[in-house]
Structure 1
Amino acid sequence: MAIVVEHDKRKHEILEKALEVFIEEGYEDVTFQKIADRCGITRTTLYIYFKNKREIFLWSIKQLTSGIEVGLVSFIEDKKLTDEQCLRSMLKLIVDACEENKKLFSILLSYLLTLQKTGGDPGLRVRRRLVRLQHLLSTVIIRGIKKGEFKPISVKTANEMLYGLIQSAIFRLSVLDEKTIDDIRDTLNMAVDGILKVN
């Protein structure tokens, strides 16, 4: 059993260090050898864990988004929070993560454009990673409607509105190179205000 734990720990460390290399050099300039060097292992050892840099990149993104999801679930499970507080906390966590990983989103954009040029479907890739995020947002919105905290609105429309604002934040950080997205935070809070049920 200790071997499995060591293997998982090593894989996690490789992904964290690989993500640093991708952020520093960009997807196109990263090689398997550069990742191996950063991890202090040989390319042969790296092949035990991953078959190519694309797989490492996608796993690195998955590890990052999984960490965000854990934070979102902790808000949902916190019985002390109202649904309004929960939704605001979730949106803040997401936007903060976007701001903290600004450079990564630039690299991800480059990767998705390369995927598109080679005939891949970048939209499908993005949807796969974000379906859980949208499900978690929907869970809180539905719960808030049932408890009477939120207006009886279309959950799909509310989710699309919030998701669109998050996409805007990512675009402004990664493409427009904006340093802060405080106005997006304000807009998200205004969106939550708009779905609150007025007593």
Structure 2
Amino acid sequence: MAIVVEHDKRRAEILEKALDIFVEEGYEDATFQKIADRCGITRTTLYLYFKNKREIFIWSIKQLTDSVEKDLRGMIDEAGVPWATRLESVLHTIVDRCADNRRLFNVVLTYLLQAQKSGKDPDSRVKRRTIRLRHLMSQLMIAGRNAGEFKIPNVKIANELLYGLVESAIYRIAILDRSEAEDVKAAMSFAISQMTTSS
């Protein structure tokens, strides 16, 4: 058990230090050797944890999305809380976590732009990482509609609206370098209030 804990701890340390390299030098200029050097380990040791820099980068994103999803599932399962409140909490938490991880989103956006320049489809890469989030949002809206709290004739369109606000928050935080996105959170709250049956 102790070996697994140490392995996980070392992996987390590598991810954190690798993120610094990605932020400082960009995805393209970050190298496996630079990451190993920053971690104070050899490339051979780094290979025990990750097979290449892309895997390190993907793990950084996965670590964030898994953590966010776990938090969101807890909010969704809060019995007795109105569905609109749950949906608002989920969206605001996503925005806050984006602000907390602004450095990672800067690197992600650079990575996506480089992928686009090299002829790869950045949209499909983003969709693979966000499909569960979109599904959770749809589940919330459907449950709220079934409970009579939401008047949402088309959940897919409502999901696009709210997800577009999430993307707007990421843009403001990562590109415009705002430390928070209270205006986007206010827009999210307004959109949700327009979906409720009491509005």
What is the CA–CA distance in structure 2 between the aligned matches of 1:74 and 1:43, rounded to whole Å?
39
Alignment of 1:84-123 (within 5 A): 84-123=84-123
Query: Contact 1:169–1:184 (CA<8 Å) still a contact in 2?
Result: yes
What is the CA–CA distance in structure 2 between the aligned matches of 1:9 and 1:178, rounded to whole Å?
31
Give unpaired runs (5+ residues) of structure 1. none
Q: CA deviation at 1:10?
A: 2.7
Which residue in the other structure is 2:68 paired with?
68
Query: Contact 1:27–1:107 (CA<8 Å) still a contact in 2?
Result: yes
Alignment of 1:128-147 (within 5 A): 128-147=128-147
Which residue in the other structure is 2:185 paired with?
185
Q: CA deviation at 1:20?
A: 3.1
Q: Which amino acid in the other structure matches residue 123 of structure 2?
A: G
Q: CA deviation at 1:63?
A: 0.7
Q: Deviations over 1:54-78 (max 9, x none)?
A: 1111111111111111110110122
Q: CA deviation at 1:93?
A: 0.4
What is the CA–CA distance in structure 2 between the aligned matches of 1:80 and 1:42, rounded to whole Å?
53
What is the CA–CA distance in structure 2 between the aligned matches of 1:19 and 1:178, rounded to whole Å?
20
Q: Which amino acid in the other structure matches residue 13 of structure 1?
A: E
SS in 1 for 2:159: helix
What is the CA–CA distance in structure 2 between the aligned matches of 1:15 and 1:99, rounded to whole Å?
18
Query: Contact 1:153–1:195 (CA<8 Å) still a contact in 2?
Result: no
Q: CA deviation at 1:16?
A: 2.7
Which residue in the other structure is 1:161 paired with?
161
SS in 1 for 2:153: coil
Q: Deviations over 1:29-59 (max 9, x none)?
A: 3221222123222111101221211111111
Which residue in the other structure is 1:15 paired with?
15
User: Which one is further off, 142-151 or 32-41?
Assistant: 32-41
Q: Which amino acid in the other structure matches residue 38 of structure 1?
A: R
Q: CA deviation at 1:122?
A: 0.9
Q: CA deviation at 1:177?
A: 3.0
Query: Contact 1:50–1:56 (CA<8 Å) still a contact in 2?
Result: yes
Q: Deviations over 1:171-192 (max 9, x none)?
A: 2222233343211111000011
Query: Contact 1:87–1:140 (CA<8 Å) still a contact in 2?
Result: yes
What is the CA–CA distance in structure 1 between the aligned matches of 2:161 and 2:123, rounded to whole Å?
18
Q: TM-score, normalised by structure 2?
A: 0.91
Q: Deviations over 1:115-161 (max 9, x none)?
A: 12222211111000000000111111111011111114211111100
Identity of aligned residues (%): 56
Q: TM-score, normalised by structure 1?
A: 0.91
Number of residue equivalences = 199
Q: Please give the root-mean-square deviation of Cα atoms over the aligned residues, in Å.
A: 1.8
